[in-house]
Amino acid sequence: MTVYGIIGVGAISAAIVRGLCRAGQSGPPPDVLLSPRNARLAAELTGQFPTVQVAVSNQQVVDGASVLLLCLRPQDAASALSALTFRPGLEIISVMAGITVHRLTQIITPVTDLARSIPLPDVALGQGVTPLFPPSPAASALFSRLGTVIEVQDERTFEALSASTATVAALLNYLGTVAAWLTGAGVPAPLASRYVAAVFSGVLNPLQTAAEVDFGKLAHNHQTPGGLNEQFLGVLKQAGTFRAVERGLDQVLERLDSRQSQG
Ligand SMILES: NC(=O)c1ccc[n+]([C@@H]2O[C@H](COP(=O)([O-])OP(=O)(O)OC[C@H]3O[C@@H](n4cnc5c(N)ncnc54)[C@H](OP(=O)(O)O)[C@@H]3O)[C@@H](O)[C@H]2O)c1
């Protein structure tokens, strides 16, 4: 039976554990072995889920895992992982942004079965859409339990998808600004937030199952010529908002690329 070992207990690994152990799945939850650092969160997870245990050391996680997940912050990866011994054939899945397969094979030796992944917090609900590179049966099996997977054929595409996920906080800030503006206009704060969430869920939820997604066409369909959406979009275009989005994405991708050369 699969034992998932996790090195780096934090926001994304907690979401993965919650997704693996959530109620309502067909089979029993898998065994999970957590690294000891961040004892508070590890204790919360072991208290909540009987198949989750905490190891005494990172090496014990490596030795006890049949599939090992690397969930460290990128800047901690080299020092934490180079101190460990890995057995040949261990299946390894990295969630760490910007650390390429090539760089990981320099840090971890020997490594024969390695995949990168981009899980997002909705894996906790089994609703993740997780890109993988290169395709790997172990990573597909894991993330299929947590939603759906996208097998990406080249690392450049994978890196660009990773960069695009950096826009989520900005989107939430945008929605928060709309809600705060409503509150300033006299709408009670809970109603303002709920209404904004409902409006955007109504736009975005149907896209999950749409045959095709064409954002240009959708934006066009939401604008009456001479209407209010067209007016608001015009203000943002004139302010250079969308050029700033492109510049921001370029900078994120450059930062991801630069991590290859970091120690
Ligand atoms: N959060 C997301 O939504 C998300 C999505 C996709 C990918 N990722 C990637 O996932 C990785 C982790 O992100 P995160 O947001 O989960 O970070 P996080 O919440 O900061 O978790 C990282 C954890 O690793 C621990 N750690 C540091 N050094 C360690 C060591 N030597 N041994 C064992 N544990 C150690 C940290 O402990 P201390 O706090 O004590 O240092 C922390 O608890 C990053 O590489 C990120 O790029 C995150």
Name which of 37, 146, 153, 166 is nearest 98 in CA terms: 166
DSSP line for 188-245: -HHHHHHHHHHHHHHHHGGGGG-S---HHHHHHHT--TTSHHHHHHHHHHHTTHHHHH
Q: Which residues contact 117 (CB under 8 A, 6 or more apart)?
A: 93, 94, 95, 130, 131, 132, 139, 143
Confidence band of 260 (pLDDT split at 50, 70, 90): low
Q: Which of 32, 15, 116 is closest to 67 using CA atoms?
A: 32
pLDDT band of 262, cuts 50, 70, 90:
low
Q: Under CATH, which architecture does the 166-258 domain have? A: Orthogonal Bundle (1.10)
Q: Dump pLDDT digits (tens) for 105-119.
A: 999 988 889 999 999
Q: 204-239 pLDDT, tens per residue?
A: 999 988 999 999 999 999 999 999 999 999 999 999
> What pairs with residue 85 in β-bridges?
none
Place 70 in a pLDDT band, splitting at 50, 70 and 90.
very high
Look at residue 93 in the predicted model and tell me its pLDDT.
Answer: 98
Q: Are 35 and 8 in contact (CB under 8 A)?
A: yes
Region 171-196 average pLDDT: 98
Q: Is 35 left (phi over 0), alpha (psi -120 to 50) or beta?
A: beta
Q: If you measure from the C-alpha of residue 41 to the centroid of ligand 1, how many angstroms do you get, rounded to a whole number? A: 12
Q: Which amino acids bring their CB within 6 angstroms of ligand 1?
A: 7-13, 35, 37-38, 58, 71-74, 76, 80, 95-97, 118-121
Domain boundaries for CATH 3.40.50.720 within the chain: 3-153
Task: Report the CATH superfamily, name and number, of domain 3-153.
Answer: NAD(P)-binding Rossmann-like Domain (3.40.50.720)
**For residue 144, pLDDT beyond 80:** yes
Q: Percent of the chain having pLDDT more than 90?
A: 92
Question: Where does CATH 1.10.3730 sit in the chain?
Answer: 166-258
- What are phi and psi for residue 92, nearest 5 degrees? -120, 135
Quick one: pLDDT band at residue 263, thresholds 50, 70, 90?
Answer: very low
pTM (2 d.p.) = 0.92
The C-alpha atoms of residue 182 and residue 73 are separated, in whole angstroms, by: 37
Q: Ligand 1 pocket: which of 6, 7, 18, 38 to mutate (most atoms <8 Å of CB)?
A: 38
Please, what is the end-to-end C-alpha distance for the chain in angstroms? Answer: 35
Whether the CB-CB separation of 84 and 62 falls below 8 Å is answered with yes
Please tell me the distance from the alpha carbon of residue 253 to that of residue 263, in angstroms, as a whole number. 18
Mean pLDDT taken over the chain: 95
Would you say 183 and 189 are in contact if contact means Cβ atoms under 8 Å apart? yes
Cα–Cα separations (whole angstroms), residue 228 to 69, 165, 223: 48, 29, 7
CA 40–ligand 1 middle distance (angstroms): 14
What is the per-residue burial (b if ≥16 Cβ within 10 Å, else e) of 28-52? ebbbbbbbebbeebbeebbeebebb
**Ligand 1 atom nearest to 36, measured from its CA:** 33
Do the Cβ atoms of 123 and 19 come closer than 8 Å? yes
